[in-house]
A = this chain, B = another copy of it.
Amino acid sequence: MDNELEAGLPDRDPIGHAGFLIRRVHQISVALFADECEALDITPTQFGIMLAIAAQPGIDQSTAAEERGVDRATMASIVARLEGNGYIRRVPGRADRRQKLLSLTAAGKKLLAKAQAPVERATERALEPLSPRDRKALMRLLEKLVDGGNHHGRAKLRLK
């Protein structure tokens, strides 16, 4: 065990403390994203969906939603919004007409390119309190939690 790491930490956190910290870090992350991306009028979830579409043009709407952990109703409203703003195109699948295949328009690609710098600044500001080593450790721990959480069937998560 690493005594230096544990020094000063209580043996037991107050009940619900982990969830509380996660909520607050999420809140900070969303607030900084909104602050940096104000001019672009895009949310983190919309941005994530656009990233998924950029990585796999023609991706099915349900697959994109599952990959980003977005529920069906939220996805429908995000897609309607992005389509209404002219950022994505939605066409029915050839084999299965009920499928909706998504791709970015030229305007969508432009928006995604313009968003890179502000999203990077938002991330930089959110992670600012951590050293490079701590940032890597955090990413490793969060990835473990996400991987592990995917198996919680009862939690009704639609994660990849």
Chain B: which residue is nearest A157 at the CB level?
Answer: B31
Q: Would you call A2 an interface residue if the criterion is a C-beta within 8 Å of the partner chain's C-beta atoms?
A: yes
- Indicate if the CB atoms of B18 and A119 lie closer than 8 Å: no
11 contacts across the A-B interface (CB closer than 8 A): A14-B51, A18-B127, A19-B29, A19-B33, A21-B139, A28-B146, A28-B159, A31-B152, A35-B156, A126-B145, A126-B149
Interface majority SS on A: helix, strand, loop or mixed? Answer: helix
CA distance A28 to B120 in the complex (A): 24
- Indicate if the CB atoms of B116 and A5 lie closer than 8 Å: no
Contact stretch, chosen from A57-65, A78-86, A91-99, A129-137: A129-137
- Indicate if the CB atoms of A69 and B139 lie closer than 8 Å: no
Q: How many residues of A contact B (CB 8 A)?
A: 69
Within 8 A of B (CB), among A17-54: 17-35, 44-45, 47-48, 51
- Indicate if the CB atoms of B123 and A31 lie closer than 8 Å: no
Nearest-CB distance from A30 to chain B (Å)?
8
- Indicate if the CB atoms of A21 and B133 lie closer than 8 Å: no
- Indicate if the CB atoms of B18 and A139 lie closer than 8 Å: yes
CA distance A138 to B58 in the complex (A): 37
Residues of B within 8 A of A18 (CB): 29, 123, 126-127, 135, 138-139, 142
